[in-house]
Amino acid sequence: MRLIVNGANHEVTAPAHETLVTTLRERLHLTGTKLVCGRGECGACTVLLDGVSVYSCLTLTAACGEQAITTIEGIGRADDLHQVQAAFVEHDALQCGYCTPGQILAAVALLDEIGNPTEADVVRGMSGNLCRCGAYPNIVRAVLSAAESRERPSA
C-alpha cells in the first residue's frame, strides 16, 4: 500500500494488523516516534493523521492509506524549527526527551485546533501525554508561548 509520510510517498507491505508506530519505526526508520506503553496510555507515539493527533500505537497502518501522516521528522528541521519546537527549546520543556516528539505533535495539533488557547486549554489538550521527568510546567509555558508567537507571525 501507499503511505504518505511527511509529504513523501512510501510503498509499504505490512500485515493488516500492524500498527502505525511499528511501520514508522521499523520499516521506515522514522525513530523519532517512540513506543512506550503500546496501548494508548502515554502519548509518546503521537503523530498527526491529516492534521489530527492520534496514538500511532492504536492506529492500524492499513487504515492510513491516502491520509497525510506527519511525524516529528516532518515538523521541522534543526536549522528550521517549527514554532512549537523552538518554544520547547527556549523554555526547556524537556529533560530526557523521550516523550518530547509526542508532546510536540500533541501541541501542534492543539494549536491548529485552538489558535489562542488558555492555560486550561493547554492542560486539557496535553493531558494525554505523560512525561516522567516532570517537564510539565515548562511544557505549559512552551505551548502558550508558541501560541503567542503564532499570533504574531512577523515577530
**Considering beta carbons, is residue 34 or 64 the nearer one to other proteins?**
34
**Considering beta carbons, is residue 43 or 64 the nearer one to other proteins?**
43
**Considering beta carbons, is residue 85 or 145 the nearer one to other proteins?**
85
Closest by CA to 106, choosing from 35, 39, 23, 49, is 49
Please state, in angstroms and rounded to a whole number, the distance separating the CA atoms of residues 140 and 118. 10
Q: How far is the CB of 41 from other proteins (least distance, A)?
A: 4
Residues near other proteins, by CB under 8 A: 18, 22, 25-26, 29-39, 41-42, 44, 71-73, 75-78, 81, 85, 88-90, 92, 94-101, 104, 122-124, 126-127, 129-140
Grid cell listed for 25: 519505526
Q: How far is the CB of 1 from other proteins (least distance, A)?
A: 18
Q: How far is the CB of 155 from other proteins (least distance, A)?
A: 19
Please state, in angstroms and rounded to a whole number, the distance separating the CA atoms of residues 143 and 122. 7
User: Up-side HSE of residue 155: CA atoms within 13 Å toward CB?
Assistant: 9
**Considering beta carbons, is residue 66 or 120 the nearer one to other proteins?**
120
* Structural contact between residues 110 and 43, judged by C-beta atoms closer than 8 angstroms: no
DSSP state of 55: E
Q: How far is the CB of 152 from other proteins (least distance, A)?
A: 21
